[in-house]
Amino acid sequence: MKTVRRILDRLRSRRGESMVEILVSTVVFLMLFGTLGGAVLFAGHAQQKAQQIRADAARLQREVRAAAASDDGSAVTAGFYAVPTLDSANTSGREVFRVELQPQTKTAGGTRFALFGPGGGDG
């Protein structure tokens, strides 16, 4: 009789986790799993977007290089650089050097690009 009683006592004194503890740990696990899944999904979308941007940039670059340059008839423009003073004020047009440029345009992908090449001056 003592053996049966001992077996029954062992069966009644279950020392495992309660149902509440199992449910709480399951909820915490599912929240972590959902967060991880969202992060992986976001990274996948970001990678696809970056690949698409690189492909579009490469296509636009090929189109710009393949397009013929057209002279828009503009005169040679000049950009000059003046020497600033210590307080960043301009020294009344004291020119350091001048760069003459001949503007041209290329159209690629429906967008007009301005190109600047060497001008006809003594640069």
What are 76-117's pLDDT values in tens digits?
555 555 555 555 555 555 656 666 666 777 888 788 877 766
Q: Are 110 and 97 in contact (CB under 8 A)?
A: no
| Model pLDDT, residue 50 | 95
| Model pLDDT, residue 7 | 80
| Model pLDDT, residue 113 | 79
**What Å distances lie between residue 64 and 30, 53, 59, 71, CA to CA?**
51, 16, 9, 15
Better-scored residue on pLDDT, 4 or 81: 4
